[in-house]
Every structure is written in C-alpha cells, then in structure tokens.
Amino acid sequence: MSADPSNPGRSRKTLALWIVFLGTLVLYAWAYSYLGAVLILGKNTDRTNSTQAAFIDAVYRSASVGAERERPSILGEFTNLLPQYTDGMVDPLFPWLLRRHSNQPPDEVFEAGKWMNFIVSGCLLLGFALAAARAFSFSGAMAVVLMGGFGVILERSAYFSPDAIYYLLVVLTWLCALSLIRQNHLWLYGAFGILMGLSYLAKPFIWPIALGFLLVSLIRSLWIAFRSRKDRQDAGVWSPSNQLVGFAMTIAAFLLITGPRLSYAAANFGDPLHSYQKYFIWLDSPTEAALFQQ
C-alpha cells in the first residue's frame, strides 16, 4: 500500500484511499465506543454472577500472592511481578492486569475492569485494522474489524472477563505462526513464545496452535531439505538451521512468561499445567463438573 514516487497518479489515489480508510476507522471507533459504553453502563451492571464474581475475587487474591514473604529473594521479587495466581478455573492474566485496583471495593474494581477490558480490546482492534490495511487491502481490513469487532469482541469486552483479550491474543499468536512458516527469523520465534505465553495466561487453550505450528514447520523443513540445491537457494526466506535455535527461543520465552503460574499451580495443585477445564470437557453436565471440582 506504499506510494510509488514514479507514478504520481497512483500515489494520489493511494493517499486518497488512506484518507477515506482512516476517516471510516474514526467513525468505526466512535460507533464501537458508543455501543461499548451502552453495554458497560446499561447492560452489564450485575457483578454477582458467578463468572465475573470469581474474577473480581481473583484480583484481591492475585495481589496478595507473595505479600506474605517478609524478605523475598531477587528471583522471588521477579516472580511476583508476573501473573501467577490461579484456582484452576480463573486464569492469572486478567486479575493481574487489575492488581493496582486491589485496594478498592468490589464495585469500583468491577467498573475499572470493564473499562480496561474495553479499551485494551478496542486498541488492539484498531492496530489490527492498520496492519491489515498495509498487508492486504482497505476493504479486507474493514471486514476484519467489522466482523471481529461488532461480531464478537464488542460484546465480550464489556464484561469482567478475559474473553475478548484472549481471542485477540490467539489471533496475534496465529498470525505470528503464519509469519514464521513463511520466513523463520529468530526474533519471530521469541515473539511467538511470548504471545503463546500471554494467551496461555489468559486461557489455557493454546496447545492446538503450538502443535499445529510444530507439525507444519517440521514439514516445511523437510520440504526444503529435499528440494534441489538451486531451489533451496531461491527459497531464501526459510532457514532449516534456524529451527533448533528458534524452538529453544520459543520454549524459553514461553517459560519466562508462564513460569510463575506453572510454579504456583505445581505448588498448590501438584500439576504445573493444572486447569479444571481440561477435565470438564470429558464430563456430561455442569452439575457433574461442579461435583468433580469439589
């Protein structure tokens, strides 16, 4: 979408399209903000339903984790800076983002969490729109934000839950994986590990992306290895030798982000990957799930 200095007519057309696109994006942001405020102030006003109440309680518990240590080590202080509290149902990222509100009453935490969720989700959507406009087309970019924003993200961003942020993080993780399949720069492996770690801290359902990426990247390496020497030179953007170092960087980045949560779960539940959801999918009803959790 960049302007071509050798073609002034095309440059002016591209600039005009950008102006129209940005103007449309401003109108979209206004409509998104208005509808989001209606949902936050008019629809979602009850903080006592089970899901939101559990996350509000987790804000206070997350802030208290590590506070009982009188003289924490340097490693302990670093660990306390990262999300870690989980009860097996509530995951740590969303409560951790609201820890600075833990000295406020539940009603104020509830309002702060809804607005934080809405603002973060909206900013990520606008970032997606700009990135999609540069990578694809203006119409494609608007389709992404209209379907994703008004279709799913808007409603979920008005609640005290990590759903909207989780969906957006998963999309970012998936896009990073697609970029790595195309050209496996080492820094992208680190970014993939960080995004996968943040997605896991929001909700633990990220393993299909990880397994799919591992499988496809191995197939990609084998395909490059069995091509002719000339074809391998032409490929250029993919380096099989980056795979081993890249996987190590991904694992290291993932463990750096999720390590405190894994340690907390191992200490309290005996399983670093503990999550009740991975058991609930095999049960037949919410009643059975509740009995299992007890």
Give residue 20's pLDDT. Answer: 83
Give residue 12's pLDDT. Answer: 62
3-state secondary structure of 158: coil
Instruction: Name the CA radius of gyration of the chain, rounded.
Output: 22
- Nearest Cα to Cα of residue 65 among 93, 88, 86: 86
Give residue 233's pLDDT. Answer: 54
Give residue 18's pLDDT. Answer: 81
Give residue 256's pLDDT. Answer: 92
CA–CA dist 124, 28 (Å, integer) = 14
The structure tokens listed for 58 are: 């987790």
- The H-assigned helical ranges of the chain are 8-38, 50-64, 74-81, 93-97, 106-135, 138-145, 154-157, 163-182, 186-202, 207-225, 229-235, 242-269, 277-280, 286-293
Contact 238, 185 (CB under 8 A): no
CA–CA dist 125, 147 (Å, integer) = 11
CA–CA dist 47, 33 (Å, integer) = 21
* Residues found in the chain: 294
Contact 86, 92 (CB under 8 A): yes
Give residue 231's pLDDT. Answer: 57
Give residue 65's pLDDT. Answer: 76
- Nearest Cα to Cα of residue 133 among 34, 19, 10, 12: 19
CA–CA dist 262, 58 (Å, integer) = 17
CA–CA dist 192, 253 (Å, integer) = 8
Give every residue of the chain whose pLDDT is below 50, as ranges.
1-3, 234
